[in-house]
Structure 1
Amino acid sequence: LQTRLLATNPDQEDHFGYAAAIEGDAVVFGAIGEKSNATGVNGDQTNNSVSNAGAAYAFTRFGTTWTPQAYLKAAKPHVEDLFGAAVGISGGTVVAGSPNESRRGNDAAGNESTEPATYSGIVYVFGPPTASPGPEISLLRNKNLTQGDTDDLGAVAVGASGRPVRFFINNSGTASLTGLGLAIKGANAADFSLTSLPAATVARNGNTYFDLTFTPGATGLREAVLQCFSNDDDESPLEIRLTGTGTSDAPLTRALGAWLKASGVDAGDNFGQAVAVDGDTVVVGAPNENSNATGVNGNDKDNSAPYAGAAYVFVRQNGGWVQQAYLKSLNSVTRNFFGNAVAICGDTIVVGAMHEATGGYDSGAAFVFVRNGTTWTEQA
């Protein structure tokens, strides 16, 4: 046993650990009974006024030490949302299901609909947590950054500020790292600003961090060089190339990064009961979905097959998320609860249907879908 992890705000009946996912040295847990009225990332955890709103917690490991990284909440927590009922993590992207949330999503004009859809469910997407450290003195963000590496801070509208990006400096040497200092140089140095500074000294096997914000002054590629000075004679300064892209139009953003809704939202679908993510693809289960469609991308409007269930595939495109596929089994029938569990690896998705009856009453089944290009087909 390396350690025991607890919520940063443990309380009775929070059910911390109801869901869990891990990638490398990053782990995320769901706590469906958590009660705070906080919103977004790292909000106030002390006001327990929203029963069973739910939360998720991200931790990262340095050596053998696990450190809380983020406290995640829905944009608008409500009683019995059960946020954190399912969680996933891949490449620094965290997804969390809130199967009882009742928002319908956006209307055709892109505005959030005020029409309720009871227990329709929703899935939230959060930006990258910090990755694990490297074997020597280095900078860390989503990956280990060594001398001469490039780190891209993404696309941001001209005149707007991207969210602060946190870098870690790890000292795996045999003596204290001292005299730490940072400088940004280059043609577009003014576009990259330090919003917090690291400690001047880091003990052996210790770490510190700093935050950097990208605010492009013009459109197109913007670049600079980040220099990290220290008493490490072999790497002083440690230099990293910073890049980012200035855009002419401000992209649609949300404080949490994004949220996903099914193409055919109906009350009681429980979209988000199961979630999984791999790279730029997210799969979401909605086991209470009622359409009589079969196969891939069928008609989701005929709700004559109660609890048949469905799964939805989303991909990241141009800084946003779009639905790529609507999955049903070829033998979809009433009360299969297809989508009660989902998983993805590369171009393969597996979907559980716990009450599918081919092998006998409620015997259950799992279905395999594969992607060729952008087309999904049922393989088994």
Structure 2
Amino acid sequence: MPHQPIRRARRDAVVLVLAFIASLLASIATAAPPDPVHGGVVAGGAGWTQQAKLLADVAASNDYAGRAVALDGDTAVVGAAGADVGGNDGQGAAFVYVRDGGVWTQQARLVADDGVAGDEFGFALAISGERIVVGARFAAIGGVAGQGAAYVFERSGTTWTQQAKLAATDGAAFDGYGNAVAIDGDTVVVGAQNATVNGNTSQGAAYVYAFDGGWNLESKLAASDGAAWVQFGRAVSVRGDSVLVGAVSATVGANQGQGTAYVYTRDGGSWSERTRLVASDGEAWDGFGGAVALDAGQAIIGASSNGMAGQGAAYVFVGSGASWSEQGKLVAGDAFNGDGFGTSVALSGGVAIAGSLFSDLAVAQNAGAAYVYTRSGGAWSQQAKLVAADASDGAEFGIGAALDGSTALIGAEFASGADGWPGAGYVFDAGAGTCTTPLVEAFDGVAAPGLPSGWSVAVAQGANTWQTVADADTAPNAAFAADPSSPSDTMLEAPTFVPQAGAMLAFRQHYDLEPTYDGGVLEIAIAGGAWVDFVDAGGSFVEGGYADTMIGSSAIAGRAAWTGDSGGWISTRANYPATAIGQPVRLRWRIASDVSASRSGWWIDTVSFGCSDVPQALAQVSPLQFAFTLAPGGNASDTLHVGNAGETGSTLSFAIGESEAACSAAGDVPWLAATPAGGDVAAATTADVSVGVDAGALAAGTYTATLCVQTSDASHATVAVPVTLNVTGGNPDLIFADGFETP
């Protein structure tokens, strides 16, 4: 695959190579980091589905589209720093797309009005409302080669026009000005990672501009403890009166190249450095600060070389002004050496994304992935793993990432297109199908017999109670209520939460209750209403539902309930009532007994109020087209790979049909065969299908057909794979199109 690295300043290349080598040596020599936050892989799942692939109308191989991406509401921007413009090789462009009714269309192609070859306009970009800022890190300024510039564009209606060109008044050749940009309202920040400061080569700087009828330089930011080669300004982010700047190669203590990030705040028109953020478990050459993002009161910082052999990580901090603290460390649940997790990061409310551009998939090496995390209280957990529907080797999906609400934009600078590998942006949307985890409780954050914050006990009869005990499904604690021989009626009440569409309740339980006389039920109160049995309210159990109907004289006599002996820990999963979706809800586990014999009691553990549905499969089909050339009477074959990049435990079913036209008109194609024509694929595995063509009964000419791959993955229910057979008068000669090679 003819990937050519994007042109880089020589100093950048030297620093990066040395940093990478040192990172590997340091990682191998050190112990594993503290316990990180990670979870199961949910590929394209948990409500996230690919909505669109954004491919430029003039895409060409090595455009590097997707290295930089930006998103604001229904507007997406994809940078193509290698794009040719009017014959200028690598001048660069940025493509603007808008969404209407779930459909994305290209609205504009932005180029610098004074651009020339090699500027790499689009290497960095950002959007805020009706403004876009684009970095051109090698633009010449006043005859100074490669100093760099940034361009501001503004939209009026559907038309974008260049509003300003920003450049450092004290810039020098190859400063890298424009290698990173950020915008929020009337504030723009431009990074210059190679700028010389106080005689320190490549210490780096960041320039802040404010709009007041025009764009004016407000401040030049430089680290108070800066040194040569720290590359301050590699990444920048702005939110209101706060700016975050990454210094990817900064030394921390004795750790060279560990990296830092600096927080600045504005008072009036004056900016001041407030604090320096570092990873609590940082190591030499982690690359911390290579990607940064700010949101209200929180920040995320990528460290793409952290961990053993560069698996990568991202760190979340919370705070303001000079007071910030590390809240969590995010790593991939399926991390592997050299994945580069944290190369890109994005943050929006309680959702974070980290790109992992070298992640391997079941059907493609170094295809890349992006991981979605959600916050519950102060804890972050992995929610989804996003991958491209047309993932291919070396696509580097995840090199760029942007997030706004329930929409994510992921860049893949070597994604395939009609002309080789131009790169693209991929839009994923959670929308109404989002199923974040609003609350998860395992009862482990308290000392027994106390209950977690927000949980309470209500006693309607007797003296029985709920408490935590050290007898759990997952250590150390579970919630427990005894089953006494006297009348009792006791409720364990959960905090209020709002279930989203697609959410499912799940918990583990173990009960030993006097059969049909003593039992437990689940009750729900919706939007402040009365307590009602979960099933009577419209909920339904998918697994582990009520065991029997109660008799006797207890407070729940006559009702279906959990009663008798569960035989150990069991799983219970349930769909919420339709009337509960989007409403404030409370749940309670209610145990009641009568005057007869006692039994052990009822244990509850690991309650998930959000995404706990059956494991989701994700189809990955490659290649996406075949082309054969044969002499009359010849035959040949190639291999179609059907992979399942879904959740652990998922199964993907597939069936393959043939069509001479669209997949909606399937029928027999005599010269084409696929064997096997269907099957099941376990998670993280691939089924190989032999695609055979036979020109035995064909005259010379070109024949076309389509393999229609039907899958159980609803987001990729049908994958169409075009097949072209060219029958000539020459010798049989199999040609693999578009770079595909023999297996």
Q: TM-score, normalised by structure 1?
A: 0.46
Q: TM-score, normalised by structure 2?
A: 0.26
